[in-house]
Amino acid sequence: MTDPTPHISTLAGAVRIVRMHGFARQVPLILAMMVTGFLEGVSVASIFPLLSIVTKGQAASTGINQAIEQALAFFHLPAEVPVLCLLMVVTIWLKAAISLVVARALGRTGATIGQGIRQRLLQALVDAKWSYFTIQPVGRFVAAATTEANWASTAFRNALQVIEQSMRTAIFCGLALFMGWEMALVAISMGVLMGLSLRTLTRAAHLAGRERQRAMRGLVVELNDVLAGFKPLKAMHRHTGLIGELIKDTRRLRKAINALVTTETLSLGLPDLIQTYLLAAGAFLAASVLGSPIDQVIVAGLISFQLMGTIARVRRALTQLAQSDATYWTLLNTVSDVEKAGERFEGTRAPTLDVGCELRNVSFSYGRGPVLSDVSLQIPAGRITTLVGESGSGKTTIADLLLGLYGPDNGTVTVDGVELRDLDIAQWRSMIGYVAQEIILFNDTIRQNVSLGDQEIGEDRVRAALEAGVEPVVCGTRWDSLIDPRCIRASIVPNAVVADLYRRAGVVLNDHWPDMQRAGILSNRVFDVLACAAPLVSDEIPDHPDGFSDFIAEFGPGRQSVRRSIR
């Protein structure tokens, strides 16, 4: 996937990230950051009156000295050493206290942002149309909801830190101007040199962060695909090549992380080195070449030191942002893609099932040729209709059309004479019990596998499901204990029992007849009992469908609409 946004690891990029989550809501936090920067500036400014006192007035009088003395006079305090020292201690203590509160609030806000993005992604996945999932790797969404959401939270915190350090830089530039334009020019020039010298680190961090994101997502996607089909791969000893590809992904990830660690280390160590060289060169130039008084050199050095320090912190914050912004924008791009793939149903009519379902002259294709061509089929309520035919003849497709997972290319799908698109699709699907071709078992308790998280399904309905055949299948595991897939075994369920279960149920779409007939897998029993009177069974032709069905519809080349009554 290409970058969803250009390289914007700048102050403007940080502001854009904050604006994505409501800039106005972050104003109190930003104001608190401004206060900490102001207090730090006051603590530094109080040094200059102290310097004037220590040198017994020999140090040059500056605007900062006068401002501090006037502020103390306003509170009827003398500009003496004890008062100035107390001012430094109090401002530093207040700055530290407010900084702790800001850091805690920043952590909570970042966690909330990450949770909000996860919730938005999960809701979008629930609302997405089924065809979107058939072309997307599941690992993409796993990576987005886990590691990428964590880094998105980090990116937001880093963006706020960039804004905080930028405000502190502006405050110290103001202090430099109070010292006089000559000293301000020297200090700001040194600060600009500091920032430019560290710019390469930010770009390197951005590239490494983007590579880490791609490597991590690739690893998660491929690992998910390998594990999904690992049994046949292992049975044929064909898994070694795929595992080798995964190992390549881990090496790629290691290289990206090493690059990130290097940029982080350099962003911590290089500023001190550059700061020392610039101060030494500036002091030598001012004292030896220009012949500036020593007191002015000291004052200019203090201001330059603080300004370069704040600019170094800005650049460090930008470097940290560059490590995570690629992941942040990629995640938002993923969420946006899923939201665009949402289902669009405008039907509002409440569904009923008194007559049955009907397909009228339905044609459908997946883009590679027709699967169904002008098919008409009636599925009466209260009776069992079985679809039989070879694999690929369209039996599962009919079930998907009845569920509204796909829409027909031509023709109509109706329920009690009402087109499916006019119904409340959520209510219609809630009336359906669907037994898929794949065994559906969640890594949870029996109770949760039966209720599927529905709080309205009480213990009596769970007990009914267990009595219908679940309990022997899971080797007597207790309801509230985790299901061990190794304990699941087959159980023979007579046709008469299965038919009775289906007639007591409501709308049942069983797309796996052999398992229902022979294996009695847990998911079949769950939906047999919990489903809300038009059962439909589809699969390859079973051995004895006549003993189970009321109607049989045979599917295959040239006989898509052959239907015969059994009862």
pTM check: above 0.95: no
Residue with tokens 């020292």: 85
Q: 461 with 444: CB under 8 angstroms? A: no
CA–CA distance, 38 with 360 (Å, rounded to integer): 75
User: Tell me, what's the pLDDT at 258?
Assistant: 92
Exposure string for 292-318, b = 16+ CB within 10 A, e = fewer: beeebbbbbbbbbbbbbbbbbbbbbbb
Measured in whole angstroms, the distance separating CA 396 from the mean position of its chain's CA atoms is 32
pLDDT at 254: 92
What is the per-residue burial (b if ≥16 Cβ within 10 Å, else e) of 343-371?
A: eebebeeebebebbbbbbebebeeeeeeb
Ramachandran area for residue 357 (φ above 0: left; ψ -120 to 50: alpha; else beta): beta
Contact present, 137 and 224 (Cβ < 8 Å): yes
Q: Are 137 and 148 in contact (CB under 8 A)?
A: no
**How many angstroms separate the first and last alpha carbons of the chain?**
56
**Tokens, residue 263:** 């940029």
pLDDT given for residue 293 in this prediction? 67
Q: How far apart are CA 440 and CA 148, in angstroms?
A: 28
C-alpha–C-alpha distance, residues 29 and 553, integer Å: 67
Q: What are phi and psi of 363, to 5 degrees?
A: -125, 145
Quote the CA–CA distance of 556 and 318 in Å, as a whole number: 63
Distance CA 433, CA 511 (A): 11
Buried b vs exposed e over 217-256: b needs ≥16 C-beta within 10 Å? bbbbbbbbebeeeeeebeeeeebeebeeeeeebeebbeeb
Inter-axis angle of helices 239-284 and 199-228, nearest 10: 170
Q: Which CATH architecture has domain 356-565?
A: 3-Layer(aba) Sandwich (3.40)
- Copy the structure tokens of residue 209: 């962060």
Give the strand order in the sheet containing 432-435: 432-435, 507-510, 536-539, 385-389, 551-555, 562-565
Which pair of tokens denotes residue 185?
């020019």
Cβ atoms of 87 and 42 within 8 Å: the answer is yes
All CATH 3.40.50.300 domain ranges in the chain, comma separated = 356-565
Find the helix or strand (DSSP H, E) in which 552 lies: strand 551-555
**Token pair 């058939």 in the structure block, residue:** 134
SS3 per-residue string spanning 327-372: HHHHHHHHHHHHHHCECCCCCCECCCCCCEEEEEEEEEECCCCEEE
Task: Indicate the SS3 state at residue 541.
Answer: coil
Cα(335)–Cα(492) distance, integer angstroms: 45
Contact in structure between 447 and 480 (CB atoms under 8 Å): yes
pLDDT tens column, 535-558:
454 544 445 445 445 556 666 554
Angle between helices 149-178 and 294-340 (to 10 degrees): 150
**Which of 516, 382, 522, 518 has the alpha carbon at shortest distance from 465?**
522
The matching CATH number, chosen from 3.30.70.1230, 1.20.1560.10, 2.60.40.1760, 3.40.50.80, for 11-340 is 1.20.1560.10
Coil, helix or strand at residue 418? strand
Q: What is the largest CA-CA distance in the chain?
A: 114
Other CB atoms within 10 Å distance of the CB of residue 22? 10
Give me the pLDDT at residue 490, please: 38
For β-strands 370-380 and 536-539, DSSP reports them as unpaired
Sheet holding 370-380, edge to edge: 370-380, 356-365, 410-415, 418-419
- Residues forming CATH 1.20.1560.10 domain(s) in the chain: 11-340
Per residue of the chain (567 residues), what is the pLDDT tens digit? Answer: 444 554 455 777 888 888 888 888 888 888 888 888 888 877 877 777 776 666 655 555 566 667 777 777 877 878 777 888 888 888 889 988 998 998 898 888 888 888 999 999 999 998 888 888 888 888 888 888 888 888 888 889 888 888 888 888 888 887 777 766 766 777 778 778 887 878 888 888 888 888 888 888 888 888 888 877 777 777 777 777 778 888 888 999 899 889 888 888 888 888 888 888 887 877 777 777 666 666 667 777 777 787 888 888 888 888 888 888 888 888 999 999 999 988 888 888 888 888 888 899 988 888 777 888 888 888 888 777 777 777 777 888 888 888 888 888 899 999 988 999 899 988 888 777 766 655 566 666 666 666 666 666 666 666 665 555 444 444 444 556 555 544 444 344 444 444 444 444 445 555 554 444 443 333 343 344 333 334 454 544 445 445 445 556 666 554 444 444 444
